Amino acid sequence: MYQLDDLLHLMARLRDPQHGCPWDLKQSYATIVPHTIEEAYEVADAIERSDFEHLPGELGDLLFQVVYYSQLAREEGRFEFAQVVDGITRKLIRRHPHVFVDGDLYGAPDAAKLEEAAVKQRWEELKAEERAEKAAVPEQLSLLDDLPNALPALSRAVKLQKRAAQVGFDWPEALPVVDKVREELDEVLEAMSENDPQAIAEEIGDLLFVVTNLARHLKVDPETALRSANGKFERRFRFIEQTLRAAGQAIENCSLEQLDALWGEAKKQEKRLPGC
């Protein structure tokens, strides 16, 4: 069975200036990023579908992205894969003092078990310390530092809100957030009445942000919830297509009332399924 060193060797061969793959030789950090994002979502998709047969392959594709960046950096004399492994290992040892009491990866596991809340609090404290160390100008240090702009918007919104909540800038419970959702929806309607496209876009953004906040207060991951809603929409729309196809009808020729009736039938079909 091939090992990690074999994968690193393969990557170096692909990038060999004389005998490597022409496609791989043309790649850069920037051109690989879209593939990395896609592979991460494919891992998430396999897990959501409980497709554990194909999960090792998806994880391998994601691992290859890390190997790829490391090879590019090695060629430029920036760092190597071993430094990536060393860095994450040291970070996780440092962030888990309740497991590695003396900072020794292979030390005896004799640490006292802590409550999850205490572990989480200490984790956030350590991350804050790391952000402070990274800040070029301490006076400019922000709680919102190190949140990548490339994150999916819903996920980044949750992270922004969680960071602000650490210093008390947050609603104490979900009900006031519901009121805020209504307020933002009214502002969308007002912008619509004024037929102001820029204002509509801004208010829709505010509405999405506060709905994300409501999801956070209700312990719901909005990214996962929206993916689930996407899947539900897709299943029901496919049901409509298949039903019309079986009846010899073109979907383009159906009225909205007909399509809505089939949508309702799709919902009924789902409720009849086991576990629904």
214 with 244, same domain?
A: no
Which long-range contacts (C-beta less than 8 Å, at least 24 apart) are formed by 142-148?
143/167
The pLDDT of 130-155, averaged and rounded, is 73
The pLDDT of 53-79, averaged and rounded, is 97
208 assigned to some structural domain: yes
pTM, whole model, 2 decimals?
0.65
Nearest-angstrom CA–CA distance, 204 and 35: 30
Domain boundary pick from 79, 103, 124? 79
244 with 183, same domain?
A: no
146 assigned to some structural domain: no
Domain boundary pick from 48, 79, 110? 79
pLDDT in tens, 157-208: 999 999 899 889 999 999 999 999 999 999 999 999 999 999 999 999 999 9
pLDDT for residue 186: 97
pLDDT in tens, 19-46: 999 999 999 999 999 899 889 989 988 9
Which range, 29-38, 67-76, 136-145, is most confident? Answer: 67-76
Return the residue matching tokens 């430094």. 83
The pLDDT of 251-267, averaged and rounded, is 93
Domain boundary pick from 79, 97, 123? 79
Instruction: Look at residues 170, 26, 11, 16 and name the one whose alpha carbon lies nearest to residue 80.
Output: 11
Please give the tally of structural domains in the chain: 3
10 with 51, same domain?
A: yes
pLDDT for residue 96: 85
What is the CATH number for 170?
A: 1.10.287.1080
Residues 255, 257, 262, 263: what is their CA dihedral angle, to the nearest 10 degrees?
110
Nearest-angstrom CA–CA distance, 80 and 103: 24
133 assigned to some structural domain: no
110 assigned to some structural domain: no
215 with 233, same domain?
A: no
For the chain, what is the mean pLDDT?
89
**What confidence category does residue 273 fall into, taking pLDDT thresholds of 50, 70 and 90?**
low
Q: Residue 163: give the domain boundaries.
A: 153-220
35 assigned to some structural domain: yes
88 assigned to some structural domain: no
169 with 203, same domain?
A: yes
What six digits make up the tokens of 177? Answer: 């957030």
109 assigned to some structural domain: no
211 with 242, same domain?
A: no
**What confidence category does residue 121 fall into, taking pLDDT thresholds of 50, 70 and 90?**
confident
206 with 230, same domain?
A: no
Q: Which of 100-114, 149-163, 244-258 has the lowest mean pLDDT?
A: 100-114
148 assigned to some structural domain: no
